[in-house]
Structures are given as structure tokens and as C-alpha cells.
Structure 1
């Protein structure tokens, strides 16, 4: 708690600066909420695609023995 006693917080004294600071915080909060929403959609999509891949592998829709990506050199020229 000693460190907190030495902590100084600057706050703008004029109303225009306070208003601008409040707007900055609001914009930052809105951006964070949009970002969170986007990330949740991406997680949902990735979960769905993961499940689709598992289903395709289990049902034999593609050969999982070649799906690892190891030793894939076809079409690669050096």
C-alpha cells in the first residue's frame, strides 16, 4: 500500500478536456466490445469447422493419414 500512497493521478481541470477524456474512454469501450464480439464469432466458427473436420475424418470423407501436412513436397520446386 505504500506504493499507492505515492501514486499521483493527473485529472484535467477544464471541462472540455474532461469531456474529451470521457469520449476517449467511451470509444475505447465500444471498440473493445466490438472486438470481443468479433472474437466470439471467430471462436464459434473455428469450433464449427473443427467439428466438421472431425466428422469428415470419422466418416471417411478424407484420408487423415495424409492430412497431417508432414512430408508434403508435391509441387514444391527448389
Structure 2
């Protein structure tokens, strides 16, 4: 799996975790996040920073050429998942 897929998945799980009030849903989210962190070799804070840096890079490239969709299409991740 491409690193941007891992970073975006972690970000989505983090958002879901913030909205999850019950232990039944929280536990699997935490387990998957821990697995992603292990795969990436980062802790949660480092993953969040890497995701922010990646989004900043994409925004800069999009501003440079004015074609957001084209810049995003060059990356191996599911834009619809965001």
C-alpha cells in the first residue's frame, strides 16, 4: 500500500475515533490505527504531521500549476475516501 494511502487511512480513522462514543467501535479503530503506525514506523503525532506535510505539498503543487485534480490524480490514493 502506498504511504499516502496509509496516511489518509490513519487520518480517516482518527476522525472516526473522535466521533465514536462507544467502546465497541473505539477499540477496533484504535487497533487499526496502531497497526498503521507500526507499518509506518511512526507514532500517532508523527503520522499526523506527515499527513499535514503531504497535504501542504499537494496544495503548493496545485497552486503552482492551477490544476488540483491533475496533481491529485498523480498520487496513488482514493480521493473519494476523504
Fold match by TM threshold 0.5:
no
TM range (shorter): 0.3 to 0.5
Name which structure has the greater RCO, CA cutoff 8 Å, separation 6+. Answer: 2
Structure 1 or 2: larger helix share? Answer: 2
Bigger Rg, structure 1 or 2 = 1
TM-score normalised to structure 2 length? 0.32
The TM-score, its normalising length taken from structure 1, stands at: 0.33
